[in-house]
Amino acid sequence: MSKSHDLQLIMFMTNIATAGALFFFQLLLQDRGITDVEIGYLAIIFSVFLVISNSIAGKVADTIHRRKILLAGLILSSVSILLNIYPTTFTSFAIIRIINGITLGLYPSSIITIASHKKMPLGNLSAFGSFGWSIGVYVVGYIAEIYRLELAFILGAIVMTITFLLAYLSGTGNIESDLNNTGNGEISYLEVIKRNWLVYLTALLRHGTAHAIWIFWPLFLKFDLSLTDSQIGIVLAINPIVQAIMMKLVTDRGNPKIMYLTGIIISALAFYSFTISSNFLEISLTQIILGISWAFFLVGAIRVLESENKASNSVGRATGFFNSIMSMSSITGPIIAIILFTFYENYIAAMYLSVIVSLIASLIYFAKALKK
């Protein structure tokens, strides 16, 4: 098996492992008596440490130590995913979420940096992640309904451990011998932020309000739309399947800036479609729109960052900070969700806000990046 195929398989398997740990975690919390507001606080705690971990790991990924940080992230993540099944109180869950945030933020930047170094198409690589995510959420939904939700976390830990063994035995990321430029310490994070601020700002706007939706998304599906756990798994699987198809067939071609802008605009349409959905079929159709929007948004952003930072050998830092922006969105999103839920006591208000803010983000990006 080639090193490129190893990396694709690692991307595929890490997404299987983390799908349930991230999307069905809210249902586990509710089963153990954690309130909706406390769920929001736990999301903030997790995201704060994910931001820190992503930032540090991104800098390390630009050096010859990218293999070490990849392996450490994989094996530590397998342990932290398993730990989710043990807490029973808000305090104990908070401690575990700190550990989750630190470990799950270690390996993503290394994967992207290794792929960039090997000149792998990033859309194709992202497609494997989306395929893995779709399988993960479907399997977790099935397990949750037929067996016990805790089994999903045990399965995630096992898959992540297998991924670690694959990366270790195959030598993935072991490219010290052919890395010509390792003296990149002169490129600071401040310089990286200045160079890529427009992508970071608009991503934070779009994704920050989107996370106000996702923090309560399984609860919205289960209680507002009356979906079963297996139906929730199917809904969650449609989105990444569409992502994967688009990433595989479309997103490695064309202007990445236009692609990124298109992703933000379609996101607004997807968020609005949630508000007019009332059953399993309708919400399933919205996931097609969402999958297209995310494929364009994510791959467009990564391709823009790669093209503008590769010459300075700072792709790891640029994408690492982008991952941190995604994690910051996981902080702002729950804060927004808590505020909106306190005032409106529903999950729809966050969807309307996401529509408005995504349109604002698209106007900003169009004005600064394309209309020159």
Give the least confident one: 80-94, 143-157, 218-232: 143-157
Distance in angstroms (rounded) separating the CA atoms of residues 193 and 366: 19
Give, for 66, the enclosing helix (H) or strand (E): helix 66-83
3-class state of residue 279 by DSSP: coil
Is pLDDT larger for residue 51 or for residue 362? Answer: 362
Distance in angstroms (rounded) separating the CA atoms of residues 40 and 34: 10
Q: What is the pLDDT of residues 158-208, one digit of tens each?
A: 999 999 999 998 876 665 444 444 444 556 778 888 999 999 999 999 999
* Structure-token pair, residue 103: 């470990």
Q: What is the pLDDT of residues 97-107, one digit of tens each?
A: 999 999 998 89
Question: Could you state, in order of their start, the residue ranges of all structural domains in the chain?
Answer: 3-173+188-370
Residue 312 has pLDDT above 90, yes or no: no
Average pLDDT rounded to a whole number, residues 283-305? 95
Residue 305: predicted pLDDT:
92
Residue 183: predicted pLDDT:
47
Give the list of residues 6+ apart from residue 260 with CB closer than 8 angstroms, or none. 199, 296, 297, 300, 301, 303, 304, 365
This prediction has a pTM of 0.79
Q: What is the pLDDT of residues 317-352, one digit of tens each?
A: 888 788 888 878 878 888 898 899 889 888 999 999
Q: What is the pLDDT of residues 232-263, one digit of tens each?
A: 888 988 998 899 899 989 988 899 999 999 99
Distance in angstroms (rounded) separating the CA atoms of residues 363 and 315: 26
* Structure-token pair, residue 325: 């922006």
Residue 174: predicted pLDDT:
64
Neighbours of 176 (CB within 10 A): 12
Residue 371: predicted pLDDT:
62
Query: Please, what CATH class does the domain formed by 3-173+188-370 belong to?
Result: mainly alpha
Residue 95: predicted pLDDT:
96
Is pLDDT larger for residue 152 or for residue 76? Answer: 76
User: Which residue type occupies 163?
Assistant: T
Q: What string of DSSP letters covers 195-217?
A: HHHHHHHHHHHHHHHHHHHHTTH
Residue 229: predicted pLDDT:
79
Look-up of token digits 């109180």: 89
Q: How far apart are the first and last CA of the chain?
A: 46
Distance in angstroms (rounded) separating the CA atoms of residues 101 and 117: 26
CB-based contact 328:204 (threshold 8 Å): yes
Q: What is the pLDDT of residues 71-87, one digit of tens each?
A: 999 999 999 999 999 99
The closest alpha carbon to 4, from 133, 172, 244, belongs to 172
Residue 64 has pLDDT above 70, yes or no: no
Counting other chains too, the contacts that 83-88 makes at CB distance below 8 Å and 24 or more residues apart are 84/21, 84/25, 84/28, 84/153, 85/150, 85/153, 85/154, 87/32, 88/32
Residue 328: predicted pLDDT:
85
Percent of the chain residues topping a pLDDT of 90: 45
Average pLDDT rounded to a whole number, residues 206-231? 90
